[in-house]
């Protein structure tokens, strides 16, 4: 992917999308951050994601997602960590921009990056955004999964397990690995699966097995929410491990992951309702 630097370096834009942004007046950092349009998709303190439609040269419309970060997103502690360049404390918009390309290079489908922008104040990035192309017709994984009969649900979870295996084998951890962050794009034959929301993705050097277990626990928790059975999860975990039976190591990972599930049951996570168990 070729990238252009514009607005005195405050924006990086994928070259193929630069004419689209220019035609819609979105070729400076401030105009992107101040744009009032779009439908709110997610809204957290200091971070808002909207879906927008940009006019194309042919008179049509192109769907995009814009995720913007404002100063209120950072606590005092996070500002300090960012100031001292603590690993993993950097700007999430830029991290997602970089991870979109890295995850794609691993052979895992994700969103197409359009642009990223940053503004620094007091020695740290205090405002930023990342923009991606809409995945046409895509449905969140938990919604898709709830509609499936048992046999199709298990096939779907096997495919999700293969994504998780490839992702972790590449040295990556997601840190928000819920089934809702798998988007399903229906196609003729098998639907395409896309892994999204990569703003927290990392390549940990320390405690990597702990982060992997947390990923698997979050994924199992959200699968339960969407109607998975214990048998579904066992088959998916065997596929993830590339095994036909669980050995001591795999059993230890599974126990750690299920402790994560138990912990999530005690709170209301951002990405799911209380678990609806099936057997």
Q: Which residues of 188-214 are buried (b: 16+ CB within 10 A; e: fewer)?
A: eeebebbbbbbbebbebeeeeeebbbb
- Residue 185: C-alpha distances to residues 10, 41, 192, 243, 264 (Å): 33, 18, 5, 28, 28
Q: Beta strands 192-195 and 39-44: pairing type?
A: unpaired
What confidence tens digit (pLDDT) does each residue in 29-56 have?
A: 999 999 998 999 999 889 999 999 999 9
Q: Is the pTM of this model over 0.85?
A: yes
Identify the pLDDT of residue 273.
43
Q: Which residues of the chain have pLDDT under 70?
A: 268-279
Instruction: At 132, list the tokens.
Output: 């991606």
Identify the pLDDT of residue 271.
44
Identify the pLDDT of residue 226.
93
Fold of 139-264: Transferase(Phosphotransferase); domain 1 (1.10.510)
* Domain ranges, ordered by start, for the chain: 3-133, 139-264
């Amino acid at each position: 992917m070729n990238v252009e630097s514009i607005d005195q370096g405050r924006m990086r834009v994928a070259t193929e999308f630069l004419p689209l942004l220019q035609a819609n007046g979105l070729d400076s950092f401030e105009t992107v951050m101040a744009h009032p349009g779009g439908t709110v998709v997610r809204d957290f303190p200091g971070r808002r994601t909207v879906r927008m439609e940009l006019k194309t040269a042919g008179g049509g419309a192109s769907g995009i997602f814009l995720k913007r970060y404002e100063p209120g997103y950072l606590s005092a502690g996070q500002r300090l960590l960012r100031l001292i360049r603590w690993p993993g404390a950097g700007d999430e918009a830029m991290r997602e921009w970089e991870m979109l390309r890295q995850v794609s290079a691993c052979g895992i489908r994700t969103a197409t990056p359009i642009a990223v922008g940053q503004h620094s104040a007091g020695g740290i990035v205090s405002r930023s955004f990342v923009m991606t192309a809409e995945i046409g017709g895509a449905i969140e994984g938990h919604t898709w999964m709830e509609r499936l009969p048992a046999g199709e649900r298990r096939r779907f979870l096997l495919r999700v397990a293969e994504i998780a295996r490839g992702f972790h084998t590449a040295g990556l951890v997601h840190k928000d690995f819920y089934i809702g962050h798998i988007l399903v794009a229906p196609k003729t034959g098998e639907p395409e699966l896309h892994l999204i929301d990569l703003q927290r993705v990392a390549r940990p050097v320390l405690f990597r097995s702990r982060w992997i277990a947390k990923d698997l626990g979050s994924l199992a928790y959200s699968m339960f929410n969407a109607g998975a059975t214990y048998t579904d999860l066992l088959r998916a975990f065997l596929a993830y491990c590339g095994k036909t039976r669980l050995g001591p190591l795999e059993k230890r990972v599974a126990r750690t992951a299920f402790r994560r599930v138990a912990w999530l049951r005690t709170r209301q996570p951002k990405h799911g309702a209380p678990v609806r168990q099936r057997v």
